[in-house]
Amino acid sequence: MANELSETQKSQIGKQNKKGQTYTDPNHLFFKAPRTAAFYTGSEVIKEAIRRASVDVMVAYPITPQSEAAALIGELYAEGYVADYMRGESEFAVMGQCAGAAFGGARVFTTTAGPGTMRAMENFPMWVGSRLPIQMIVTCRGINSPLSIQPDTLEMYFLLGTGMLMWHAETAQDFFDWMLMGYIVSEQPDVHLPLALCCDGFFVTHTKDTVMLTPPEMCLPPYDPYRSPVVCMDMESPPVRMMRDPFIMKSNYISYMTHASWQEETRAACERSRKHTIPLIGGLIETENVDAEILIVASGTAVSQGREAIRLLEDEGIRVGLVKVKSLRPFPFEELREATKNAKHIFVPEFNVIGWLATELKAALPDNHRIIAGPHVAGGMTMPAEVIVRKNSDLSGVFGYYAAGVS
């Protein structure tokens, strides 16, 4: 079954927390509760989502462009919406503090960006192996030298192999909905994995957008740590030894087999998240006009720029379809194969210099000569829709071909 609550959680539905918010059935909260329009920055939207998320512990650290959001959660703590809040000493420590709180059975939230994500990197496979359903917002920024604080999604490339769930929000609305939905997916017993909810820094965090918010008097049911597939470290379960033999560091077959099978299991858990994710965020991908012979496949704000490019191309009489990739882990192999089956040319615009999404697609799709990586903008450069149009024409000439009416 998808997105089940435990009996403990169900027993909380309808009750009030100390702020007077009502623990609400997630499906009601997401799909039936009335929504109100608000005009907020992405950072303010993060705050509003956390107000409704029944978070126990948030650990913060300053790094642009997530500092504002992290500080706004501090205001929620001061108001009593978050049970504990602290500033860590570095992202490596922050992610350790998040781990400790999650090991102790708390619902945990943090935010990071760019070099901070890289500094913390050792923690992420550990979170996965320890099955800690921490939610981490990644407001992507440059990680190159010379120092840059500008939008750039290169850090996401390094997260792809950690085993975390990874979603890439395009808009503040995605953010608001997916943060709340993310906890429900992450905390399922057959998933129980951390979620890296990524967005393009500044473009999403620092711009204002109209967002439809759920009522502030409704919140998610609290986390139930006893649904975890591994023991919650609170000494509330019988005092058994966690392992009878420290095989973990031995060099023998059973040790190798244990590690191998656990890595397989955490990856399988990520795949199992599909059945919970799909009904909530409406599929791992979103498509428009995929019967067209030219497609743009993108994630994050590159999707928005792709939409603009498609509109410009329509003016020239060229029909182009769009695929928005919402989830990178699990990776939507089947969905993408189906969506691109008619495409002759697949353009992949990205906000990073290496084109990791194109690399992923080339490994996943048949006839991958169809994939044209680019345009790539990096270091904070914007991606005007005209760049996508021109780049595509320069590289392949296909637009000229189609515009001439030859098919």
- Quote the least distance from Cβ 86 to another protein, whole Å: 7
Do strands 285-288 and 320-325 pair parallel, antiparallel, or not at all (unpaired)? antiparallel
C-beta of 110 vs 153, nearer to another protein:
110
Q: Which amino acid is at 395?
A: L
- State the minimum distance, in angstroms, from the CB of residue 241 to another protein: 5
CB of 230 to another protein, least distance (A): 11
- The SS3 assignment for 366 reads coil
Nearer to another protein, 33 or 121 (CB): 121
Q: Which residues in this chain contact another protein in the complex, by CB under 8 A?
A: 56-57, 59, 83-84, 86, 88-90, 92-94, 96-106, 108, 122-123, 126, 130, 231, 233-235, 237-246, 248-249
In the complex with another protein, the residue whose CB is nearer, 57 or 191, is 57
Instruction: Find tokens 């397989």 and name the residue.
Output: 264
Q: Which of 162, 67, 73, 167 is nearest to 114 (CA)?
A: 67
> Angle of helix 301-315 relative to helix 385-396, nearest 10 degrees?
70
For residues 65, 67, 72, 74, the Cα torsion angle rounded to the nearest 10 degrees is 160
CA-closest candidate to residue 351, choices 182, 146, 148: 148
If phi over 0 gives left and psi between -120 and 50 gives alpha, with beta otherwise, what is residue 105? left
Q: Which is nearer to another protein, 212 or 230 (CB)?
A: 230
Q: Write out the E strands in 353-395.
A: 371-376
Q: Phi and psi for 163 in degrees, rounded to 5? A: 100, -5
State in angstroms the smallest separation of the CB of 258 from another protein. Answer: 12
- Report the nearest approach of another protein to the CB of residue 237 (Å): 8
CB of 57 to another protein, least distance (A): 6
Point out which residues pair with 295 in neighbouring strands: 321, 346
- Name which of 241 and 369 has its Cβ closer to another protein: 241
Pairing assessment for the beta strands 327-329 and 165-168 based on DSSP bridges: antiparallel
The distance of closest approach from Cβ of residue 224 to another protein in the complex, given in angstroms and rounded to an integer, is 11
Nearer to another protein, 83 or 395 (CB): 83
**Residue 4 carries which DSSP code?**
P
The nearer residue to another protein, 125 or 215, going by C-beta atoms, is 125
